[in-house]
Structure 1
Amino acid sequence: MQNLTVKKYQSNYHSIWNAFVLKNNSATFLFDRGFMEYHSDRFQDFSLMVYKEDELIAIMPANIKDNVLYSHQGLTYGGLILDKTYEKKVIVAIYEVLIAFLNKHGIKALRIKSLPEFYDHTVHNTNKILKDNFKATVYQRHKVLSIDYGLPFTIHKTKLKNYRKNQNKGFVIQDNNGFDIFWNHVLIPRLKLKHKTKPVHTLEEIELLHHRFPNHIKQYNIFLNDEILAGITIFDKGSIVKSQYGATTERGEKTRALEYLFLYLTYKFKEEGKQFFSMGTVSDNSNQLGYNPGLLKQKEELGCHIYAQEFLLIEAQ
C-alpha cells in the first residue's frame, strides 16, 4: 500500500477521531476522546492516526512514557484499530510506516495491549504477523473470561440450583445507576478489606464517565430488605458487555447476592441480543501461576469460556 502517512493526534482532530471510532466495529466507546481524556493528567497522550492519502484508515490510542509508546495504559485493551480487514501485506506496510515514525521521534519500543480474541476475530492473525515480521515478543498473556451467547450455556448446575432457589428470597435489583451507594458501601470497603487497594476509577470519575456515556456505563445493585448486598458496574459496548466492577458485602457473600446478580444479568443480556458477556481477566501477578485459580473456577462455573489477550513488545530501533 502506497502513500501512507502517520500523524500524531492533536485536539483539532477530535471530531475526525471520534467519527472513526463511531463507525468502526472493533472500536468501543473506550476509544472515544471523551473517555480517553478523563484521566489525561495521568498519561501523556501520543495517539497515532494512519492515513492513506487523505483517508483515515487506522488509529492507535496510545501514551508515551520514558521513550516507550504504549497502546494506552489507561485502557483495558487497544492496539491498532483498522477501518476494515486488510490482507497481510497491507498490515505489514502500515506497521512499517508506524515504526519509521517512532524511530523518527526517538521512541525505542512499542508495547501493544491487544484486544481480547472475542472482540475481533482478526487479532490472532495480526499478532502472528507482528511476531513473524517485526520480531514482536509476547511479554504478558491474560486469560479473559466471557460468555459466548452463540454457544449453549455451561452454567454449573449448583449455580443454577441456587439461582432458582434464591428467586423467592426477596432480592430487589435496581438499575437506577446508584454508583454512590455501591462505591461507598460496597466496592471501596470491600477492596480495602480484601485487597488493600482502591477502585481504578474514583466515584467522581465513574459518575463523570456515566454522564458522558449514559447508554454505555450502567450500575446494577441488589438489595435485601432495603440493604445493599452487591453491585455490578457494566460497560456496554454494543454487542459486547463487560462487568467492569463486581463486589459484595459480607452479608451479600453469605446470601450469594453477587452470584445471583451475575446470573440475572446473564439472562438479561441474552434477551437483549448481546453476543458476549465479558467478566474480565483473572490475572494475578502475586500467584506463581500468573492467575487466580479460584476466580477462574468461579467465572467458568458462571458459564464463561477462556479467551487470550496478548501483550506484545516491538523494538522500534
Structure 2
Amino acid sequence: MAKEPVSMFFKLYCLTVMTLVAATYTVALRYTRTVSTEMYFSTTAVCITEVIKLFLSVIILAKETSSLGRLVASLRENVCGNPKELLKLSIPSVVYAVQNNMAFLALSNLDAAVYQVTYQLKIPCTALCTVLMLNRSLSKLQWFSVFMLCGGVTLVQWKPAETSNVQIEQNPFLGFVYIAVAVLCSGFAGVYFEKVLKSSDTSLWVRNIQMYLSGIIVTLAGVYASDGTRVIEKGFLYGYTPWVWFVIFLASVGGLYTSVVVKYTDNIMKGFSAAAAIVLSTAASVILFGLQITATFASGALLVCVSIYIYGLPKQDTTKLVTDTDVKNTKEKLIAV
C-alpha cells in the first residue's frame, strides 16, 4: 500500500509534540513514583489510559466519518463484525500493556534522565524487528550508529548519575531489567502495529479502536492478577493525585501521536526526537531531583544523541544515481554521433 503524501511541516509537528510529551511524561511519572504519599496502582493507571485512548479514537473517527450513521456502520463492520481483526490487534495490546507497566516499575528505580537515555535501546530493537518483519535493510552507517547507541547506554549504566532530592529506596539494576523488557516490547509491538496498518486501507482510528478494546480487556486482567485484592480493599483510584491524572493524560496523548507517526512517517522515525527529549529530561532532573551528572553519564548521553542523529541520515539512493549516470552517458553518445 502506498504511503499517503504528507507535508514535511506535519511530520515535524508530530515529532515535536512527541518529543515534548515524551520528556514531560518521563519526568512527571518519575515524580509520581518518588513522592511520599500513598502509592497508586500502576496497573489501574495503564488501564485508564487505554480507556481514554479508546474514547479519543472514537471521537476522531466520528469526525472522520462525518456522520453518526457512518460511525455506527464502521464500528459494526470493523469491530463487532470482525473478531479476527480484534484477535490480530490483541497481540500488540498484550505487549504494550507489559511495556507500559514496565515503565512505571523502571521509573521507580531510575532517574528520569537515566531512564530516557537507556530507553533509546528501543531504536536498535525496532531496527532489528523492522529488518526481520518488514524485510527492510539498514545501511552500514545505520548499523554503526546502533552499536554506538548501545555503547552510550552502557556508559550511562556503568555509573548512573545520582539524585540528591529522592529519598525512596531504589534498585538501579532492577530498573535496567524493567527497561530491557520494555524495550523488547516496544520494538516488537511497534513494528507489528506498523505492519498491520500498512497491510490494508483500514482507517488508522479503526485500528486504534480495535487495539484499545483489546487493551482494556488485557489491562483489566492485569489489574486483577497483580493488584486484585488491594484494589478491592482500597479502591480502583486509590492514591490518585492531579499529577497521576496528568501522567495518564500524557500517556494517552503520546499513544495517539505514536500511531500518527507510525502511519504517516515511519515507525523508527519517532525515535529520532529522543535526542531532544533526553536533553529536556536531563535539565528537568537537575532542577527537580537534584541530578548529579557524572562524566560517564554525559559521555554516554552524548553518544546516544549522536547515534540517533546518524541513524536518521537519509540513505543514498544508488539506483537513482546509476539511472542518472546512464541517462547522462546516453545523451553524450547522441551528441557525439
Higher RCO (Cα < 8 Å, 6 or more apart)? 2
The structure where strand makes up a greater share of residues is 1
The structure where helix makes up a greater share of residues is 2
What TM-score do the two structures reach when normalised by structure 1? 0.22
What TM-score do the two structures reach when normalised by structure 2? 0.21
Bigger-Rg structure (1/2): 2
